[in-house]
């Protein structure tokens, strides 16, 4: 069993001015973080959590350790900076153990993890929200929850307390499985049937599926930031992964731009070939400029 294609796409949506979502698409780690807090606090919390997940995954941390480290960093930062006090973020992550054929899920908040197997969609993570707990206790119906005015109130978050209560589960993977992680900007706009239809219509292609899901969420209103991460598992021998130092270099280059600079951001979590090609073009352009100047002087 090995990882196949992967794709991630994040969009500000139609109503928000900034994107408070962050994601990780660095095989074998995939994650979604949806920040909350005033001003830019939510954006800070989600990106800080995503950075912690990447760094600790490189160091070989377990799923609970990943989330606890993200919680500690966000919590400590909120204590040190009164401007972002109370900030927090959801975290839903998938860590793929290719050798064992297992996908381990860690979860806090209302960002979701789904499994698409064949033409069936299964929600793997329970929503940590007030209305979801009321539904589970039988005090609300699913339909009442969908229109409840407090349906976005979450009961667990990363970074709002010194300790975090998280859920962890393991899924025995099969070749052809697709795993989808998403922020509530998707699931508030599309129901499970719409999500499954978009993936099936894309014929399982991660790029096509993520693009379709984001487009449909915006078409349905786009009231929140929407972020989707999708990856597949296929038959075969696991491929060697980059060293921790190489992965760190790639991540630093990808996160160098200020968050929110683009309405939509896509990452594939693979390869530096595009960057080398770009450097080659720049070098060629510089050489051409020097030759033109020399030619002008010689004339």
For the record, the structure tokens of 174 come out as 């099969």
pLDDT category of residue 275 using cuts at 50, 70 and 90: very low
- What CA–CA distance (Å, rounded) separates 287 from 13? 42
Give the pLDDT of residue 278.
Answer: 37
Give the pLDDT of residue 274.
Answer: 33
In this structure, of 24-33, 90-99, 206-215, 239-248, the range with the lowest mean pLDDT score is 239-248
pLDDT greater at residue 262 or residue 6: 6
In this structure, of 106-115, 126-135, 143-152, the range with the lowest mean pLDDT score is 143-152
pLDDT greater at residue 94 or residue 253: 94
Please check the confidence at residue 154 and state whether its pLDDT lies above 70.
yes
- What CA–CA distance (Å, rounded) separates 277 from 266? 19
The torsion region of residue 222 among left (phi > 0), alpha (psi -120 to 50) and beta comes to: left
Please check the confidence at residue 287 and state whether its pLDDT lies above 60.
no
Please check the confidence at residue 282 and state whether its pLDDT lies above 90.
no
């Amino acid at each position: 069993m090995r990882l196949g294609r992967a794709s991630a796409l994040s969009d500000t949506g139609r109503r928000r001015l900034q994107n408070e979502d962050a994601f990780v698409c660095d095989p074998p780690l995939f994650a979604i973080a949806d920040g909350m807090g005033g001003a830019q606090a939510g954006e800070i919390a989600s990106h800080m959590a995503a950075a912690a997940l990447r760094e600790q995954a490189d160091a070989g941390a377990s799923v609970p350790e990943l989330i606890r480290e993200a919680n500690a960093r966000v919590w400590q930062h909120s204590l040190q900076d009164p401007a972002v006090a109370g900030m927090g973020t959801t975290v839903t992550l998938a860590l793929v153990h290719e050798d064992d054929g297992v996908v381990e899920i860690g979860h806090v908040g209302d960002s979701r993890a789904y499994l698409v197997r064949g033409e069936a969609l299964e929600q793997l993570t329970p929503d940590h929200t007030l209305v979801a707990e009321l539904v589970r206790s039988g005090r609300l119906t699913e339909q009442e929850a969908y229109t409840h005015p407090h349906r976005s109130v979450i009961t667990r978050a990363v970074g709002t307390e010194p300790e975090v209560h998280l859920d962890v589960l393991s899924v025995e993977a099969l070749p052809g499985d697709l795993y989808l992680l998403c922020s509530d900007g998707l699931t508030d706009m599309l129901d499970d049937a719409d999500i499954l239809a978009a993936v099936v219509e894309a014929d399982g292609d991660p790029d096509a599926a993520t693009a379709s899901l984001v487009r449909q969420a915006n078409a349905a209103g786009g009231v929140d930031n929407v972020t989707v991460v999708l990856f597949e598992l296929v038959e075969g021998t696991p491929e060697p992964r980059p060293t921790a130092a190489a992965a760190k270099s790639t991540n630093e280059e990808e996160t160098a731009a200020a968050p929110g600079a683009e309405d939509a951001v896509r990452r594939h979590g693979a390869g530096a070939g595009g960057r080398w090609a770009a450097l080659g073009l720049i070098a060629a352009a510089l050489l051409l400029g020097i030759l033109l100047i020399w030619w002008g002087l010689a004339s």
